[in-house]
Structure 1
Amino acid sequence: MGTILALDKDVSGKNASDLVAAVDLGSNSFRMVVAQVVQTPSGTQLRPIDTLRESVRLAAGLTDNKLLGNEAYQRGITAIRRFGERIRGFDPSKIRAVATNTLRVAKNASSFIQEAEAALGFPIEIIAGVEEARLIYIGAAHEVPAVHGNRLVVDIGGGSTELIIGKGYEPKLMESLYIGCVSHSLRFFPKGNIDSHAFKEAELAARREIQVISGAYLKSGWKQVIGSSGTARALAELIADNNLGGQADSLTMGRVNGSSGLITREGLRALKKHLLKYEHISQVELIGLKDDRRSVWPGGLAIMIAVFEELGIESMEVTDAALRLGVLYDLLGRSQHDDMRFVTVEQFMQRYIVDREQAKRVGNLAAEFLAQLPKPEEESRADNIALLQWAANLHEIGLSISHNGYHKHSAYIAGNADMPGFSKNDQARLAALLIGHAGKLGKLANNPIFSDWRMLFCLRLAQVLCRGRSDGNLPKVKVSEHNGSYLVSLSKEWADEHPLTEFSLQKEAAEWERIGRPYSISLK
């Protein structure tokens, strides 16, 4: 193997510091986009300079017991390895890789992600369906012409379909449904067989899913409809290339306006009629039907028809921006201190009526303790301080349910709620800190995945010291760590004047000792 060089410049000649990249591990295709960050008088823009796409058909390789089969697994890793070469040498803060529905449901997703991260060279986040919807909307909103009023964005992926209503760049209604072009095609058109009964069943199944949300969406209304997925683009191109939509020039017109086509109700009906002439997908003759789409477009067509019928849509513009561009703009927002996760935490604090003074008190003290501890080379201290303070801000949200065992309720909410901006891993880490910030440590000690012990130590200590819920008379505390053992040093005089706190610290030390982590208290 040759020597790997970290370059100051990308092969395109652009300064690497000006480049960002997004990796989208979808259920049907893996995609990557590299873009240049351009500062203009009107604000920051992203100019894509390179794209990669691999048809890995991950969802098609999902077995009945929700495991990724070996062939799909290896196709995915091979594609990611090629992506990794393209972004080798990039600053980790300029890369964001996300995985969607198939890796949300696959039981062996963790082993795949571990191997994929090694192949890519960067962390990979598995994002929740609603977070995927949010990012899709952001990407589409930045790519299509502006409109006064609401817009509806529909993204039919391989394993899920996202529907979002928003205004400007802000999503308002977000839903992720478990229907996708790959899963639907496998379910209703097994082995590529086609008949009118199967197609009707595929439509009805999709309509039942959409009916659950249609009332709220129709009530909200929209002025513009955007299709943002590979499925939407493929359907628009088939309609235009085969002159099935009654508007032969619609594809060209759409591209001029920043989209890549137009889907009409008439065009969808014509595609369905043409499809049902055949008994097997391999026999279908359509101009522009690509081989990598041949096996999955019947399911996508059925879902799109269901969307049009249930929501009363007549025509839909199509853009190819979607998730990848949304990931880039969200990444850019984080670097410019416009991180959606801070907004989400703020909304949760309002919703669960958090004692803000106490949350701030605990968070500041916990961050002060973390700053005193050694920083391993692989740790992002800024990211961990942010996570630690989010945990402090949310550690008492469970009180809205019950004081008894409130930390368990806090952890359940953080681990299971829709939290825009947070990846699944973010939420899992946050929930672990919340379940562990009070009470016994046994469950976390038996969890081989949990690794945020240093942060948990800081959070628990801050929570003990702030029990009085007052800023006054807090002691000067020094903390240190060596090989997993902790030392807490404070004034003996202060401890003598605060017997409850001293007793609580001794109990805390005993709890850590119980799980095999030495914890000493020094009173001088």
Structure 2
Amino acid sequence: MASETTAQTVAAVDLGSNSFHLIVARVRPGELKVLDRLKEMVRLAGGLREDRTLDPEVQEHALACLTRFGQRLRGLPADRVRVVGTNTLRSARRAGPFLERAEEALGHPIEIVSGMEEARLIYLGVAHSLAVGPTDRRLVVDIGGGSTELIVGDGYTPRRMESLYTGCVSLTQQHFSDGRITAERFRRAFLAASQELEPWGEAFRALGWDEAVGASGTIRAAAKVLTAAGWSEGGITRDGLERLRDALIRAGHADQLDLKGLGANRAPVFASGVAILLATFEMLGIERMGAAEGALREGVLHDLMGRIRHEDVRETSVAALAERYHVDAAQAERVAATAAHLLERAGPGWELDPDWAGPYLRWAAGLHEIGLDIAHGGYHKHGAYVAANADLLGFTREEQDLLAALIRAHRRKFPGGPFKALPERWARPARQLAVLLRLAAVLHRNRRPLPLPELGADARKGTLRLRFPAGWLEEHPLTRADLEQEAAFLAAAGFSLQIE
């Protein structure tokens, strides 16, 4: 029997626009062994109203599902579970109360991922479900309920990714809302999907690939139907899809679909899924596509394992953004080291979890000057905008908002707005991290490589006390003046900075 050090249980939850998935796996050397899978059709995208709010009935359906998932997750440590929300939760307005109830039902926080991050995780899940070599180039297509992801990658590394705003649920609402399937409706759905794909077709064709692989329920269902009907051998083909399209039109209604391999839950959105798939074949010039078992939730599991093993793609993303904006690496390292020292000394008094706070403080220190590449005036504001809106792989929307808040608050007047927009559980510790980052930046304002003296620091509630060796501040009057000015900025924000 495997010991706890070689076999640990991890779980991922995928809150998709069409269905919710839970996967639980045991970590063994070199593999993830799946222990349990749960799936429920929720059709969250179908509950997204014209004003982008979620229909209350759909919310209750979703919460009931998440309560069942939460029972399965009970007892798993927080760092062994990841829950990700995709297109519909990205798009929903005023979803805060629903997300709070959803997190309570699950017992774990929900991460809303960007379209590009969703694409990366999908590729990771597909690649790990196949036998891949480091130079094998694949096109991966995932048709979800609210979006469609396209990725070309080599081995386990994605090279080009796009997330398109069309999915089987959203397209069904537009063209097959009453279940009727006609040739004209299918043509319009096909054209709508083709329009979304059109800007990216040539770019993806130019990259080329050795094989095309599809992920998620729509593509797997299409593969099963084509194989069962004898319309395609060895995967999905253009000819097979055209025969499937004709069969859908002959049926005339989603309720009348009698296709072997098609589940009843998939039938209402199947015509739109086939339209997107056929458009993808047309616009990207695909000849044949296989169907993979791995998808977003498997990708989330493998990404979680990377974090557990300290192979975090977020480190690479931060380094790439810093390089792109020509950050002074030596200055960033000085500020990061001092911020880490202050966290070690003052963190316990503020009850900051170093495992959570340390990485965000380090990443913010590494990026705090990215705005200088845009303009010196108000560069902290420019940097915050970039951090919040860039495609930072590995980061959720909330994590990028946290980085942006720290960057925005690292100098000048201490802002309140960026912290109010963060999840409630982060608001207080984020403000405290901002104080530490501000002080680190102030102490290295002269940008010189000379080391600082041994600093003492302790904190309690709204107070932070800095202690310097006797006589050092008298020998560095400019630093003292900077710290006194900083004390005034912090006092206006409700913090007391005491300098000894």
* TM, length-normalised to structure 1: 0.90
Contact 2:336 2:365 in 1 (8 A): yes
- Tell me, yes or no, if structure 1 residue 34 matches structure 2 residue 20: no
**Matched letter for residue 178 of structure 2:** K
- Indicate the residue corresponding to 2:105 in structure 1: 119
Contact 2:487 2:496 in 1 (8 A): yes
- Indicate the residue corresponding to 1:203 in structure 2: 190
Contact 1:22 1:97 in 2 (8 A): yes
Between the aligned partners of 1:233 and 1:353, the Cα distance in structure 2 is 45
Q: How many residues align?
A: 494
- One of 291, 296, 311 as aligned partner of 1:338: 311
Give the secondary-structure state (helix, strand or coil) at the position aligned to 1:296: helix
- Tell me, yes or no, if structure 1 residue 77 matches structure 2 residue 77: no
Between the aligned partners of 1:19 and 1:338, the Cα distance in structure 2 is 18
**1:446 Cα deviation from its structure 2 partner:** 7.4
Give the secondary-structure state (helix, strand or coil) at the position aligned to 1:34: strand
C-alpha distance after superposition, 1:224-246 (max 9, x if no partner): 1100111101111111222222x
- Indicate the residue corresponding to 1:299 in structure 2: 272
C-alpha distance after superposition, 1:98-121 (max 9, x if no partner): 111100010133222221111111
**1:480 Cα deviation from its structure 2 partner:** 2.3
**Matched letter for residue 486 of structure 1:** L
- Indicate the residue corresponding to 2:488 in structure 1: 510
**Matched letter for residue 468 of structure 2:** L
- One of 362, 368, 371 as aligned partner of 2:335: 362
C-alpha distance after superposition, 1:378-402 (max 9, x if no partner): 8531121011000000111111111
Between the aligned partners of 2:223 and 2:183, the Cα distance in structure 1 is 22
- Indicate the residue corresponding to 1:409 in structure 2: 382
Between the aligned partners of 1:378 and 1:152, the Cα distance in structure 2 is 46
Deviates more, 1:501-510 or 1:432-441: 501-510
- Tell me, yes or no, if structure 1 residue 101 matches structure 2 residue 55: no
Between the aligned partners of 1:210 and 1:169, the Cα distance in structure 2 is 24
C-alpha distance after superposition, 1:319-376 (max 9, x if no partner): 1211111111111111111100011111112211111111110001011111112448
Deviates more, 1:79-88 or 1:140-149: 140-149
Contact 2:339 2:437 in 1 (8 A): yes
- Tell me, yes or no, if structure 1 residue 134 matches structure 2 residue 134: no
- Indicate the residue corresponding to 1:283 in structure 2: 256
- Indicate the residue corresponding to 2:462 in structure 1: 484
**1:500 Cα deviation from its structure 2 partner:** 2.2
- Indicate the residue corresponding to 1:521 in structure 2: 498
Deviates more, 1:113-122 or 1:62-71: 113-122
Contiguous gaps of at least 5 residues in structure 2: none
Between the aligned partners of 2:262 and 2:32, the Cα distance in structure 1 is 31
Deviates more, 1:459-468 or 1:141-150: 141-150
- Indicate the residue corresponding to 1:462 in structure 2: 440
**Matched letter for residue 422 of structure 1:** F
Between the aligned partners of 2:273 and 2:351, the Cα distance in structure 1 is 42
- One of 472, 478, 484 as aligned partner of 2:450: 472
**Matched letter for residue 81 of structure 2:** I
**1:491 Cα deviation from its structure 2 partner:** 4.4
Between the aligned partners of 2:4 and 2:102, the Cα distance in structure 1 is 27
Contact 2:146 2:170 in 1 (8 A): yes
Q: Percent identity?
A: 43
Between the aligned partners of 1:446 and 1:360, the Cα distance in structure 2 is 25
CA gap of 1:350–1:59, structure 2 versus 1, over 3 A, is same
Contact 2:190 2:276 in 1 (8 A): yes
CA gap of 1:155–1:505, structure 2 versus 1, over 3 A, is same
Between the aligned partners of 2:147 and 2:225, the Cα distance in structure 1 is 22
Between the aligned partners of 2:462 and 2:96, the Cα distance in structure 1 is 26
- Indicate the residue corresponding to 2:224 in structure 1: 237
**Matched letter for residue 225 of structure 2:** L
**Matched letter for residue 23 of structure 2:** V
Taking only aligned residues, the RMSD between alpha carbons, in angstroms, comes to: 2.1
* TM, length-normalised to structure 2: 0.94
- One of 59, 68, 72 as aligned partner of 2:54: 68
**Matched letter for residue 310 of structure 1:** M
Give the secondary-structure state (helix, strand or coil) at the position aligned to 1:152: strand
Alignment of 1:319-330 (within 5 A): 319-330=292-303
- One of 144, 151, 158 as aligned partner of 1:164: 151
Alignment of 1:7-18 (within 5 A): 18=8
CA gap of 1:521–1:209, structure 2 versus 1, over 3 A, is same
Contact 1:506 1:521 in 2 (8 A): no
- Indicate the residue corresponding to 1:186 in structure 2: 173
Contiguous gaps of at least 5 residues in structure 1: 1-8, 251-261
CA gap of 1:230–1:441, structure 2 versus 1, over 3 A, is same
- Indicate the residue corresponding to 1:253 in structure 2: none
Between the aligned partners of 1:136 and 1:376, the Cα distance in structure 2 is 41
